Amino acid sequence: MSARQWNIGSITKKRAMLSPDKTAIIYEGRTITYKALNDGANRVAHYLQEKGLKKGDRISVLLFNCPEFLEVYFAAAKLGIIFVPLNFRLIGPELEYQLNNCESRLLVFHDTLIENIESVRSNTKVDEDKFLYLKSGLPNCAGCPEWATDYKKIVESCSMAEPIPREPIYFDDPLCIMYTSGVTGAPKGAVLSHQQTYFKNFQIILYTDMSVDDRFLAQSPLFHSAGLFFLATPVLCCGATMIVRQSFEPEQFTIDIGKYKPTIIFCMTAMWKMILETKRLDSVDTTGVRVVVGGGEKTPLSLFDELSSRGLHMQMGYGQTENSVMMIMPKEYVEKKKGSIGKPGFFTDVWIAHKDGKKAAPGEIGEIVARGLPVMSGYWNMPDMTAKTIVDGVLHTGDLGYMDEDGFFYIVDRAKDMYRSGGENIYPAEVEKVLLNYPKILNIAIIGVPDERWGETGKAFIVLRAGETLTREEATEFLKGKVAKYKYPRYLEFVDQLPMTASGKVKKADLKKKYGVRLNA
């Protein structure tokens, strides 16, 4: 049987046919219909063809959340061009590395990011005539530089007709290269196909019981797996409405809940903490919200309770760039299995494996591994790393966890974050989750540091809430009866902020590097 021809760009094409006047996106208060979104994607696709770009070429965006981000994404998909979203927080050398690693030929960027691009532009493989400038709408931004082309001016002159790809696009062709957040080591480009994304769509649609009548509010950056593959692609495939802004601001997010009456909300733990800090959520009507999806590392149990008291029952999930949303928490078990990341999704098999590859029994800690249709194809130009991560079709996540007797999964920690003290394995995340319930602590990260007596011991980096102070004795007293004494961090250091990735994860590699701790490969 011949390979099936289908691509993710068909989503906007079909939606423009089926529901052209339906609101696809509410962006900064502006409504964009499905027809308008598809017209924009078609214009970009014709521009890409005019510039000689073809199937398999890579193009990149360095953009805040905006409709143009999605226009380029769907345009690339329609032509079999590989889309590479870049983290807008990248500095020059990081940007140069990723553009050259994937040999990107075109870059669309926002005006506020010119300086970082200009510092490395001549060192990248982007074609000289393929830098596209886009206004962000923010004040005091530079105009279009002479070495770039104005996105709006050039694209608006292109045809809105459906483009005809010059080569067939198959289900298993690459759609996107999405770079990992680089918690440790150099970022790796996960290659995600049209097929993998198709099955992610329906895994999420089934998870949330999404319909065309839903309004989905989220503020994850679109360059991130959660924003592009948990929010945008499934919502637009389903024909629902996505509500998004250029960037996250906790008070505005709270206002949007009241203004737009979303039925589904996706919000990470770090964001919920900031929203609750504003004290504005109690004045907002949340009765229309039927699904709240979220979580993230180190979600304290107290956060579930704070949200539940407001009628928001958060369903935890678990995924990676390499395999988005592999785990889902059934809504009816939110309270019964608080702290669990749920059960494997519809198209993903997940289990706990020991180092010898054997399946772990319930309650035993091992590595979380997965197999299924949404798993990435591999890492771009990294065959050795791909072979270490995907073994006989099984994705090794690098996360440690266990499964209970009822088949619910729990994360313990990253394998590389574990340290050994006096011969005992210590998982920092276990202690971090407990201390995050202490009212004075806003955020925390614990790493293992060298110790003459025990080999390693724990050092906690703590961000306190405004105006608070904390002693080691207070922290130790709070830990009593909650974790074993040998797990207590020996050292505390108070910091104004922790180094974070765009998805709200602490960059422990940065802390380990600074404090002379050997980094695991």
Token pair listed for 49: 């063809």
Question: What residue type is assigned to position 454 of the chain?
Answer: W
Quick one: average pLDDT of 136-148?
93
| Percent of the chain whose predicted confidence (pLDDT) is above 70 | 95
Q: What is the pLDDT of residues 193-208, one digit of tens each?
A: 999 999 999 999 999 9
Is the Cβ–Cβ distance between 273 and 307 less than 8 Å? Answer: no
Say yes or no: do domains 196-414 and 422-514 share a fold: no
Cα–Cα distance for residue pair 75/69, rounded to 1 Å: 10
With CA atoms as reference, report the closest residue to 169 among 37, 306, 4, 40.
4
Q: How many CB atoms lie within 10 A of CB 495?
A: 14
Quick one: average pLDDT of 220-241?
95
Q: What is the pLDDT of residues 422-449, one digit of tens each?
A: 666 687 888 898 899 999 999 999 998 8
| pLDDT tier for residue 298 given thresholds of 50, 70 and 90 | low
Query: Which string of b and e fits 338-354 if b means at least 16 CB within 10 Å?
Result: eebbbbbbbbbebbbee
- Cα maximum dimension of the chain: 71
Question: Above 90 in pLDDT, residue 460?
Answer: yes
Domain boundaries defined on the chain: 36-169, 196-414, 422-514
Distances (CA, A) of 489 to 254, 461, 509, 510: 36, 10, 18, 19
Residue-averaged pLDDT of the chain: 91
What lies within 8 Å, CB to CB, of 133 at 6+ separation is: 109, 111, 114, 144, 145, 148, 149, 150, 151
Higher pLDDT, 457 or 80: 80
Q: How many CB atoms lie within 10 A of CB 460?
A: 22
Cα–Cα distance for residue pair 513/116, rounded to 1 Å: 25
- Return the CATH number of 36-169, one of 3.40.50.20, 3.40.190.10, 3.40.50.980, 3.30.390.50: 3.40.50.980
| Pairing mode, strands 455-464 and 441-451 | antiparallel
Cα–Cα distance for residue pair 389/378, rounded to 1 Å: 8
Using the Cα atoms of residue 49, residue 52, residue 56 and residue 62 in order, give the sign of their dihedral. Answer: negative
Is the Cβ–Cβ distance between 503 and 320 less than 8 Å? Answer: no
| pLDDT tier for residue 507 given thresholds of 50, 70 and 90 | confident
Token pair listed for 157: 């002159």
pLDDT of residue 297: 56
| pLDDT tier for residue 484 given thresholds of 50, 70 and 90 | confident
H-helix or E-strand spanning residue 133: strand 131-134
Distance between start and end Cα atoms, the chain: 42
Q: How many CB atoms lie within 10 A of CB 64?
A: 20
With CA atoms as reference, report the closest residue to 294 among 273, 263, 315.
315
Q: What is the pLDDT of residues 271-291, one digit of tens each?
A: 898 899 899 999 999 999 999
Residue appearing with tokens 């637009």? 236
Token pair listed for 438: 């202490």
Q: What is the pLDDT of residues 177-195, one digit of tens each?
A: 999 854 445 689 999 999 9
SS (H, E, C) 310-369: CCCCEEEEEEECCEEEEEECCHHHCCCCCCCCEEECCCEEEEEECCCCCECCCCCCEEEE
Question: Above 70 in pLDDT, residue 2?
Answer: no
pLDDT of residue 392: 93
Question: Above 60 in pLDDT, residue 163?
Answer: yes
With CA atoms as reference, report the closest residue to 20 among 3, 34, 2, 8.
34
Cα–Cα distance for residue pair 415/446, rounded to 1 Å: 14
Q: CATH fold of 422-514, please? A: GMP Synthetase; Chain A, domain 3 (3.30.300)
Cα–Cα distance for residue pair 487/293, rounded to 1 Å: 31
Cα–Cα distance for residue pair 381/379, rounded to 1 Å: 6
pLDDT of residue 398: 87
Domain boundaries 196-414, CATH class: alpha beta
- C-alpha gyration radius of the chain: 23
Q: Quick check: helix, strand or coil at residue 7?
A: coil
